[in-house]
Structure 1
């Protein structure tokens, strides 16, 4: 597919928090990454409001293992409390994605240069990303590198089908939907032979409204300044 990239994502720990477990101050990870968590990782590699990253597939390479840790998070009123966080450990994924131009940002139509964005994305991926990579939460540092999707042996290659229940797919932001609402998307993923094929955000039918939210606007001067800055960083100036 045009505008596509394939990469491997690895980390010692990951925490893709199930929102239902946060009510009492605890955190427990989903067994696999959510769509938005992978999208956030790709945006750490390269992000511009001109484009939308679409996650096509993820391949689960290592066995799903969890580990609980006693944590002392800071309370809102000050001081510390005690909580158990349940992490995924020793994770390794292969991801395939592509990008499209954001139809809800006509103010950035001047920046719709497919060749430019794809080349910058590939260079940024090869360098390990423009920003830190983390899997779900800041303490779960990760690493990305280009790969061939489907290469190598995966732990679940011979498992025909695994239903993963209802999961958070991601969040709908106003600049990606054209509405003035922040919304949550839910879906029911199924892993087949170690691969989860994501549906697109606009194909999700189970949507919950969260709150009103506006859109941040950019102009040509802002975008050109950012492009120049990153080109100088990549050239080592």
Structure 2
């Protein structure tokens, strides 16, 4: 499906760690072979995000061969001191990502900020600038870089591979202000890569959804923790506006 506010970008880095939750119970971290929906959503939100909207990841294209390496890490214990763990990272990664945004209908307090042109053009400019905030792939030590691209362009390592399945895999979290149920939920699905491309299902279509805990969304109120800036876009114009003002 094509969306009028769809964006695409290239994200790449020296390493990535998309943690499999099964391996984290014992203090170790082992990366999935491909990025999760939640990790790519985090990358997109680092490029540009406001609570008015929700980013949906439509597809990811894997450009380079899947390789990994393990490293000994000394993380800090909660009670003080250090321990020894083994983290398994993906190395030399590059992905093309296609995403679009939709309004967060569970945020009626931000309805005045629903200006599609404003958010779309700011997002495009932020991609050209490499993102508004630091971008990383899975964990903070995996620094990444972003630049514009045309989704599907160039040669990919798995273009000639008809299909590859990854079994049950973590999809992402659904936060209370996204589901309107005052619940934090975890989602799982069965991804398949076809000719190097993984097309993500929508969050509500995931076959396995589990409740993590009860949680209420943060409330925004103008004059306290919300600055009304939607009028700035109208006064300054969408194309000539400085991105820092919104």
TM-score, structure 2 normalization: 0.91
1:224 pairs with 222, 228, 238, which one?
228
**Tell me, what secondary structure is at the counterpart of 2:228?**
helix
Q: Cα distance 1:233–1:191, how it changes in 2: closer, same or farther (>3 A)?
A: closer
- How much does 1:132 deviate? 0.3
Q: Unpaired runs of 5+ in structure 1?
A: none
1:173 touches 1:181 (CA, 8 Å); kept in 2?
yes
Q: Counterparts of 2:178 and 2:44 in 1: how far apart (Å)?
A: 16
Distance between the aligned counterparts of 1:151 and 1:223, measured in 2?
40
Q: How many residues align?
A: 233
d(CA) in 1 for partners of 2:147 and 2:102? 22
Contact kept in structure 2, 1:108 and 1:220, CA below 8 Å? no
Within 5 A, what are the aligned runs for 1:51-66?
Answer: 51-66=53-68
Q: What SS does structure 2 have at the residue aligned with 1:144?
A: strand
Pair 1:102-2:104 in alignment: yes
1:167-200 superposed Cα distances (whole Å, 9 cap, x missing partner): 0000010101101110100000000000000000
User: C-alpha offsets along residues 82-117 of structure 1, whole Å, 9 cap, x if unaligned?
Assistant: 110000000000000000111111111111000000
- Give the distance between the partners of 1:210 and 1:177, measured in 2 at CA: 13
- CA distance in structure 2 between the aligned counterparts of 1:233 and 1:53, rounded to whole angstroms: 19
d(CA) in 1 for partners of 2:221 and 2:77? 40
Structure 2: runs of 5+ lacking an equivalent: 233-240
Q: CA deviation at 1:225?
A: 5.5
Runs of 4+ in 1 over 3 A off after TM superposition: 225-228, 231-235
Cross-structure match for 1:48? 50
Determine the structure 1 residue equivalent to 2:200: 198
Q: Which residue of 2 aligns with 1:141?
A: 143
Query: How far, CA to CA, are the matches of 2:171 and 2:243 in structure 1?
Result: 34
Tell me which moved more, 202-211 or 131-140. 202-211
Query: Residue 3 in 1 paired to residue 5 in 2?
Result: yes
Instruction: Give the TM-score normalised by the residue count of structure 1.
Output: 0.95
